[in-house]
Amino acid sequence: MSTNKINKSFVDKITLPETGQAIYRDNELKGFGLRVTAGGAKAFILEKRINRKVKRITLGKYPEITAEKARKIALEYLGEIATGINPIAKRKQQEAQGMTLYDVFQEYKLVKNDLKPKTYAQYEMYLDGELKDWKNKPLSSITKDSVVKRHSELKSKLSPSYANNVMRVLSAIFRFANIQFEDDSGNSLFPVNPVERINQLKAWAKEPRRQTVIKQHELANWYQALSDMKFNSSLDLHHTASDYMLFLLLTGLRRNEGAKLLWEHVDFEDKTFHIPDTKNNEPLTLPFSDLIESILLYRLRFKTNEYVFSNRRTGYLAHPSRALKYLKETSGIEFTFHDLRRTFITVAESLDISAYAIKSLVNHKSGGDVTQGYVINNLDRLREPMQRITNFFIEHANIQEEHYVPKNN
């Protein structure tokens, strides 16, 4: 490449390359140069050996900075290099120092784009809530002491689990920053995760595991109230929600897994249904019991769209909480949607169904259980335990199966 005195006159008159880019080096200041592209972009550069490797530093684009200004910046960088300072690492460090918590979160979303929308929404909720005053602060300014103090305040004002969840989100963002942003030597620009101080102090709030289920002696009253809601309420929501809640009890599905069940994933010939999108990202296929099949055939009579438990306004049963509140009040039994799943698991265990079969039915990962990796739970092997669980509920909840037998109109 040619050498020239790189000044305003030279930069203005330079001929653009037909393709790609061309480099012009200054004939006075070694390493200083101009990069020009076929598209007309012009940028000042500095090339210098740093840590035994030739590095090219972009000083700025023309005409955003002048040739004289770029030359002055190049001299400053050369001075730093002469004293052992890596200007590239220094600049990256300065840029990192200016990145806010929300800046890093935006990068987090771009890189970790396989998370569920609900997860991102939860992160946003905390960033706009309990972490709002930190949202636009440089990430590097969030200290260990401030994290411990904020966690302690949240434990006092909110539930222990909520306080912990806020800090887990903050920790996840810091862990991401630690890995994502590095200098040329591979050293993290965010080497410290201040949330680790909570671990070191063993200050995480104790979160008592919820153990509530619908007890065996409550099942009959629960189903009677469910049946009354189904047949004696004028609300379409109650009619659909009653079938939905019974379906959750009989299958052990999570709330959204049942609510978003599609007709295309129900196979009446094979007597199975399929949940492609689960909490642990492992698709789930389960066999029918006889009552589950009856419920699905019953819902088929009221099919209005692609969802089994449909709602004319929202598509699927997106807001069943009002029906849940109604059923709790009329039955006198306090329970949540997830309690239906816990009740299913508790009943399965009481029937001495194998732990491996239960894990397969409720789609729990095996974790460190090596043995389960060698056990193949095919659908036919799961039909018998699924039917046994259904039979238990039919007997103890006094479920009237004829309520779900399709009738000819």
Here the CATH number for the domain that contains residue 181 is 1.10.150.130
Q: How much is the pLDDT for 377?
A: 55
Q: Does residue 209 form part of some domain?
A: no
Q: Are residues 272 and 319 in the same domain?
A: yes
Q: Are residues 191 and 264 in the same domain?
A: no
**Domain stop point among 57, 85, 113:** 85
Q: How much is the pLDDT for 4?
A: 78
Q: Does residue 409 form part of some domain?
A: no
Q: Are residues 264 and 353 in the same domain?
A: yes
Q: For residue 334, give the CATH number of its domain.
A: 1.10.443.10
Q: Does residue 12 form part of some domain?
A: yes
Q: Are residues 26 and 53 in the same domain?
A: yes
Which structural domain, as residue segments, surrounds residue 361? 216-404
Helix (H, G, I), strand (E, B) or coil at 221: helix
Cα-based distances in Å from 387 to 20, 347, 378: 69, 12, 15
Q: For residue 11, give the CATH number of its domain.
A: 3.30.160.390
Q: Are residues 142 and 7 in the same domain?
A: no
Number of domains in the chain: 3
Q: Does residue 331 form part of some domain?
A: yes
Q: Does residue 334 form part of some domain?
A: yes
pTM to 2 decimals? Answer: 0.58
Q: Are residues 246 and 361 in the same domain?
A: yes
Q: Are residues 179 and 30 in the same domain?
A: no
Contacting residues for 187 by C-beta, under 8 A, at least 6 apart: none
Q: Does residue 103 form part of some domain?
A: yes
Q: Are residues 76 and 112 in the same domain?
A: no
Angstrom distance (rounded) from CA 18 to CA 347: 76
Q: Are residues 220 and 172 in the same domain?
A: no
Q: Are residues 144 and 281 in the same domain?
A: no
Q: How much is the pLDDT for 184?
A: 65
Kindly list the averaged pLDDT for each block of 10 residues, start to end, along the chain of length 409. 80 89 90 91 89 83 93 88 76 77 92 82 92 94 95 90 93 93 79 94 82 92 94 86 96 94 96 90 92 95 93 86 92 94 95 92 68 56 95 94 64
Residue 256's nearest CA partner among 112, 403, 117, 401 is: 117
**Domain stop point among 173, 200, 227:** 200
Q: What are phi and psi of 173, to 5 degrees?
A: -65, -40
Q: Does residue 92 form part of some domain?
A: no
Q: Are residues 61 and 169 in the same domain?
A: no
Cα-based distances in Å from 292 to 228, 274, 355: 20, 13, 22
Q: Are residues 232 and 332 in the same domain?
A: yes
**Domain stop point among 85, 108, 134:** 85
Angstrom distance (rounded) from CA 133 to CA 267: 51
Answer whether 69's CB lies under 8 Å from 63's CB: no
